Amino acid sequence: MQTFTILGSNPELSLLEIKGLTGADPVNATELVAVFDDIDMELTKLNDKLGGIQKIGHIVGSIKRESRAELIEFLTSMIIGANYDGKITFGLSIYEFGDTKRARALQKDKDAIGLEVKKALKASGQPVRYVTSRDPNLSAVTVTKNKMLASGGEFVFLVSERETLVGLTSAVQDYEDWSKRDFDRPRRDAKRGMLPPKLARMLINITGVQPEGKTLLDPFCGSGTVLMEGALLGFEKLRGSDILEMAISDTEQNMGWLKNSGYDVPSYKLYVTTAVNIGAHIEPETIDAIATEPFLGVPRQGSETYAEVTTAVNELEKLYTDCFSALYKTLKPDGVVVLVNPVHFVKEVARTGDTRNLVQKEHTFEVPMNAVMRKIGFSTDPEYNNDILYRREGQFVGRRVMKFIK
């Protein structure tokens, strides 16, 4: 049975995360949707592990391009055949999967289809509620709060040029759990910079290292986000270090909070040290995976000159060279590093031929990490694209997620 996923804000990164966990490549994918043939993992468990998807489910049928009546009949028979107890609650979401024009037309027709299905279900004697939304797609919040997955389902229409695939959602992202770990933990310091928990989870999954019996290291652990996510994924041992005593204290408090909140927390050790001196604390070839966001540089204000940013990036290159040379020794053969390389954006205002017209250009500056890591002895993963950029609108510094193998 085929599997569909609704991808997160960085679809390419989401697909690589799925591949890291399952080894699967999509048979078809658009900017927001991917369909797979060969995912064997139970989908609710897979959803619990992933940080970069919104929804996941199975393809349960396909309908001819223009057959609204067939859609209504198919959905009605699917819901009746599931033999739900009590009141049925269902909803519909429409995603473009190759045919934008038809997807938009079906979005306009969505509630009419839903109400026809509701009418047919009521005629069969079952109490039923159809969940509507002003948006073309139901959010994870709407699906969860209406308890749809246990009482009727969210049906997802993937509209392509040849057909409309019908998916039944198995799980949605647990927005409450993610929010709790992000905002309720006792120690978080936005001024020092924080890796979002979802991105931290994705970095770990992209390593492709199965966590059972393995050791994960974050040598720039900050407030412990990577280590917290590593704990939830099931790593046997966690190791973290930071040059700041306050960061280690923050991590200790957050790990304690995680354990007291009912999560399983494995054995972990924390060290106040530079990554360059990590060898004084960690034996050679004892680490299976490193997932980390290193020091990104002094926080940007947006007014820096080319020269200032160039100097900062050159300093980072020396730091990264020294740090990852030391970290290389801690990794087991075939050990994996997934890191964030900062990409600094600097705007330039230029005049066109007509001096009244100003054109704003954006230039980027970053450490040449592929060359740095190759010189140390690392290789790249031929199946991983080291050019993926994670950047929110307006940020002066983006994050390039890169993968290397010892």
Does 221 score more than 70 pLDDT? yes
Overall average pLDDT of the 305-317 stretch: 93
Query: 3-state SS of 180-233?
Result: HHHHHCCCCCCCCCCCCHHHHHHHHHHCCCCCCCCEEEECCCCCCHHHHHHHHH
In this prediction, residue 301 carries a pLDDT of: 82
Provide the terminal-to-terminal Cα distance of the chain, rounded to the nearest Å: 36
What confidence tier does 302 reach under pLDDT thresholds 50, 70, 90?
A: confident
pTM here is 0.92
Overall average pLDDT of the 234-263 stretch: 97
Residue intervals of the chain classified under CATH 3.40.50.150 are 185-405
Overall average pLDDT of the 211-226 stretch: 97
On average, the pLDDT of the chain sits at 93
Over residues 22-76, the pLDDT tens digits come to 999 999 999 999 999 989 899 999 999 999 999 999 999 999 876 789 999 999 9
Does 355 score more than 70 pLDDT? no
Does 256 score more than 60 pLDDT? yes
Q: Which CATH class is domain 3-173?
A: alpha beta
What confidence tier does 357 reach under pLDDT thresholds 50, 70, 90?
A: low
Q: Per the structure block, which two tokens stand in for 205?
A: 């999954």
Residue intervals of the chain classified under CATH 3.30.2130 are 3-173
- Which pairs count as long-range contacts for 260-266, CB under 8 Å and 24+ apart, including other chains? 261/180, 263/231, 263/232, 264/231, 264/232, 264/234, 265/231, 266/231, 266/234, 266/235, 266/236, 266/237, 266/238
- Which pairs count as long-range contacts for 26-32, CB under 8 Å and 24+ apart, including other chains? 27/2, 28/97, 28/98, 28/160, 30/95, 30/96, 30/97, 30/98, 31/7, 32/6, 32/7, 32/95, 32/96
The span from the CA of 144 to the CA of 171, in Å, is 9
Name the percent of the chain lying above pLDDT 90.
82
In this prediction, residue 135 carries a pLDDT of: 83
Does 350 score more than 70 pLDDT? no
Pairing mode of beta strands 358-366, 237-242: unpaired
In this prediction, residue 192 carries a pLDDT of: 61
Does 356 score more than 60 pLDDT? no
Domain 185-405 has CATH 3.40.640.10: no
Does 327 score more than 70 pLDDT? yes
Which residues make beta-bridge pairs with 291?
A: 338
Quick one: which of 59, 69, 146, 149 has its CA closest to 95? 59
Over residues 161-198, the pLDDT tens digits come to 999 999 999 999 999 999 999 999 999 766 665 788 99
Overall average pLDDT of the 286-302 stretch: 92
What confidence tier does 353 reach under pLDDT thresholds 50, 70, 90?
A: low
The span from the CA of 204 to the CA of 403, in Å, is 11
Which residues make beta-bridge pairs with 93?
A: 156
Rounded-to-10 torsion of CA 366, 371, 372, 376: 170
